[in-house]
Structure 1
Amino acid sequence: MELKLRDGEVYGSVSFEIPIPEVRYTKENGVIAIDTNASPIHLAIAEVSKTGELLSYQTINLHNFLGLSQNSKDHQEWILAHQIVDLAIQKNKAIAIEKLKKLKRGMRGDGKAELRKRLHQWNAKKFLQKLKRVAMLKGVEVIEVNPAYTSVIGMLKYAPQLNIDKDIASAYVIGRRALGFKEDMPENYEKLLKDKAYLEFALKRYEEREKELTELIEKESNEYKRNALERELRNVENAKKLLINLIRSLQGEPSSCEGADGRNPEQGETKEVSQVAWQVLKVALLFPILGKVLPRDFSPLKPLLVEGA
C-alpha cells in the first residue's frame, strides 16, 4: 500500500497478487480467432474447429469507441474482452490473435487523414493486451501468431471460396495458423502464375494504370491528393517489377511459383508455398481482374479458384 499527498489531497494505491488459474480451455478443441481492423474499425471473429474448419463467425463494430473519453474507452474495452473470453469458454476453445506488434500508422502527408485519425483514436494493441489479461485470469489459452500475409491468404483463398468477408477470412487464417495448419496455394492459382499470356495481360493493365497516374499527378495541385497518387504509383511500379520477374522466369521451364521469382524448390526441399508467392498472386489477380487494389467483393474470383475459368 502506498499513500501520496497531492495538492492537499491524500491518494492511496494498493497492489495485491491474484492467483493465476490453471489453463483449462486450450487449442485441443479449436480456437476463437480474432482479426483487428482499422478501416472500418471492427473485430472479425472466426470459430475454427480443431481440424481447421470454419464453424461460425461474426463481426463487432467498434465505431462507438471513437467518441469516448479514454476512461470510458478503457471500460468498454474491458467489457468487450470479457465477452470474447466468455465466448471462448462457452465454445470450449482457446483464443488466437496476432502477435502484439505496433500497428501500421498512417504518416503525415500520405493522403489518408481519416485512417490516421481512427488509428490514433483506437489502439488495437492495448485492447489485445486486455484480452490476454482476462483470458489468463479465466484459464483460457491465448496463442499469438505471426500475422504476415494472413489478410492476403484470406482474401484470395477463403473469401471467394466460402463467400465470406475478407476480414473474417483473415481471422480464419489466423485461427488455422494457430492450430498449425499450412496454407497450400490452390491448383488453379498456380496454373495462372504459370500462364505467360495471362501475366502479360496483367502487366499491360498495370502499364496503363501507370500512365494514367502519371498524368493525374501532373495535373493535381492538392499536396495530399498528389501524395496519395504518388503512393499508388509506387505500388504500381513495384507490381510491374514482380510481374516482369515472374514472366522472365517462365522463359525457360515452367515455374512452380514456390518463391517470389517462380523458381522451383531445390532438390530435397519440402514443398511449401512461400509467403511472398501469395503477394505475387495478389498483384497478379486483384487489380488486373477486379480493377481495384483492395476490393470488398472477392466473389468474382470463385470461378477461377474453383473451376479454373
Structure 2
Amino acid sequence: MPKVDILYKAKQYPTDKPVVFGSKRLFEKLCKNHIAGKAREKLKKQWRELRQGTLISIGSKADKGNRMARFEDLNGQLHLRITTGNRDFIYAKVLREPSNSKDKWIAFMAMLLESWQTQNYFAYTVELKLRDGEVYGSVSFEIPTPEVKYTKENGVIAIDTNASPIHLAIAEVSKTGELLSYQTISLHHLLGLSQNSEDHQELILAHKIVDLAIQKNKAIAIDNLKKLKKGVCEDGKAELRKRFHQWNAKKFLQKLKRVAMLKGVEVVEINPAYTSFIGMLKYAPQLSIDKDVAGAYVIGRRSLGFKEDMPENYEKLLKDRVYLEFALKRYEEREKELRELVEKETNEYKRNALESELRSVENSRVCPEKV
C-alpha cells in the first residue's frame, strides 16, 4: 500500500498533547473489562479502522496530480487508481455527485478534465478512510482565481436550453447586438447515462462552449439560475417536461459557470421571461432562423442591455393562464390528430406535407412556466 505521510498528518495537530492512534475514546473503552462479547469485537473493529484504515497520498504537479492515488477516466467513468506495489494498481469507481452549485467538486472535476486535455496538471491530495468495511475518500486542492479576460464588452455567446428536440441553441452576438453566427448541439447522448457519466459528458460540453467563447473573445450569456426552475422547458407537453427532468439544465449551467470562472470568462445571467416568445415572434421570421436560436439571440441581446418590446396585446394574452392552457390544449389535440393522419397516409407527398405541419405544431408549443 502507498506510504502514509506521517509528517503531513502530524502537522495538523498540536505537538504538546499526547496522541492515541485509533481514537482515545475507543482506546479507553477497550481498557474497560466489563465490555465483552460482540460489543467488544465491534469496538475493536472500529478502533482498528481508525488506527490502520487511513491512507494519505500527497500529490504534485510533476506526478500528473498524484502518483500514488490518481484520478483517471475509464470508458467515460471516473476512477481512482491506487498504487499497491511496484507498478501494481487497483481501480476504485468514484461515486460522487455535486450537492449544490457551490460544491467544490464541480471545480475539481472541471480542473481535472482541463488537465487531461492540456497536460497541464495540478497537485491534489487524496485521503482514504475505512469505515464499516466501506472506503470513503476526500480530496484537497487549491482553486485558482484567474483574472476575467473575456467580457461582454466584446459581445457574448448566448446559450438557450430546449427540450423538443432536447438540445442547446447557441448564438454569437456582437457588442452592438447583431447576430454573427449560431449553432445547435444535440443532448440526446446524455439521456440514460449514469449520473457520473452524465456529469463527465456535461463537463466536456461545458469546456467546449467556454473554449468557443475564448476563441471568439466574448463572455457567455445564460438564463438566471435563480429564476430557472429545475426541469424548466420550452414545451408545454407533459412528456417533454418529463424529458427535461431527465436532463437537469440548471445543473449543466452550474458546471458551465464553474468552468468559465476557472478560464477567466465572464458569465452574464439574465431574466428569462419572454425570451422564447420574442425570439419566435420577432427574430425567427425576421432573420429566417430557428425559434430556439432566436431565443438564444434574445438572451444575448438582453445580456448586453438591449430591450425588446413585447406587443401589448401579446403580453396580455401571455399573462392569461386560461388562454395559455387553452392554446396548449389545442396544439396537443392538433398534434395527436396529425400523428394519426401520418400513420394512415400512404401517399408519400401528402405524408411529407402532414409531417411538415406536425413539426411546425411541435415547435410552436411554449411552456407557460417560463413566462
- TM norm structure 1: 0.59
| 1:112 positional shift | 4.2
Paired residue total: 203
Find the aligned partners of 2:324 and 2:269 in 1 and give their Cα distance. Answer: 32
| 1:47 positional shift | 0.1
Find the aligned partners of 2:322 and 2:167 in 1 and give their Cα distance. Answer: 25
Structure number having the greater helix percentage:
1
| 1:8 positional shift | 2.3
Greater RCO (CA < 8 Å, at least 6 residues apart): 1
Question: CA-to-partner distance for each residue in 1:187-246, whole Å, 9 max, x for gaps?
Answer: xx78xx69xxxxxxx9xxxxxxxxxxxxxxxxxxxxxxxxxxxx98773389xxxxxxxx
Percent identity reads 79
Find the aligned partners of 2:166 and 2:191 in 1 and give their Cα distance. Answer: 9
Aligned residue among 229, 250, 258 for 1:102: 229
| 1:218-237 aligned within 5 A | 235-236=325-326
| 1:5 positional shift | 1.9
| 1:294 positional shift | 5.7
Contact 1:36–1:42, Cα closer than 8 Å, also in 2:
yes
Query: Runs (4+) of structure 1 moved beyond 4 Å?
Result: 231-234, 290-295
Give the equivalent residue in structure 1 for 2:131: 6
Contact 1:47–1:54, Cα closer than 8 Å, also in 2:
yes
Contact 1:82–1:134, Cα closer than 8 Å, also in 2:
yes
Contact 2:163–2:240, Cα closer than 8 Å, also in 1:
yes
| 1:113 positional shift | 4.6
| 1:69 positional shift | 1.2
Contact 1:33–1:48, Cα closer than 8 Å, also in 2:
yes
Aligned residue among 258, 265, 272 for 1:133: 258
Change (3 A) 1:233 1:47: closer
Matched, 1:89 2:214: yes
Gaps of 5+ in 2: 1-125, 329-356, 365-371
Find the aligned partners of 1:234 and 1:174 in 2 and give their Cα distance. Answer: 23
Contact 1:165–1:296, Cα closer than 8 Å, also in 2:
no
Q: Which has the larger radius of gyration?
A: 2
Question: CA-to-partner distance for each residue in 1:75-133, whole Å, 9 max, x for gaps?
Answer: 10000000000000000000000011214569xxxx94522431221000000000000
Contact 1:46–1:56, Cα closer than 8 Å, also in 2:
yes
Structure number having the greater strand percentage:
2
Find the aligned partners of 2:270 and 2:163 in 1 and give their Cα distance. Answer: 19
| 1:14 positional shift | 1.6
Contact 2:230–2:245, Cα closer than 8 Å, also in 1:
no
Find the aligned partners of 1:151 and 1:122 in 2 and give their Cα distance. Answer: 20
Q: Which amino acid aligns with 1:64?
A: H
Give the equivalent residue in structure 1 for 2:95: none
Contact 1:57–1:168, Cα closer than 8 Å, also in 2:
yes
| 1:255-274 aligned within 5 A | none
Give the equivalent residue in structure 1 for 2:147: 22
Q: Which amino acid aligns with 1:79?
A: I
Find the aligned partners of 1:296 and 1:117 in 2 and give their Cα distance. Answer: 17
| 1:39 positional shift | 2.0
Find the aligned partners of 1:152 and 1:137 in 2 and give their Cα distance. Answer: 33
Find the aligned partners of 1:19 and 1:114 in 2 and give their Cα distance. Answer: 42
Change (3 A) 1:292 1:102: same
Contact 1:97–1:144, Cα closer than 8 Å, also in 2:
yes
Find the aligned partners of 2:327 and 2:154 in 1 and give their Cα distance. Answer: 45
| 1:38 positional shift | 1.6
Change (3 A) 1:169 1:112: closer
| RMSD of aligned residue pairs (Cα, Å) | 3.3
Gaps of 5+ in 1: 195-201, 203-230, 239-289, 298-309
Find the aligned partners of 1:38 and 1:140 in 2 and give their Cα distance. Answer: 27
Find the aligned partners of 2:247 and 2:324 in 1 and give their Cα distance. Answer: 29
Give the equivalent residue in structure 1 for 2:277: 152
- TM norm structure 2: 0.49
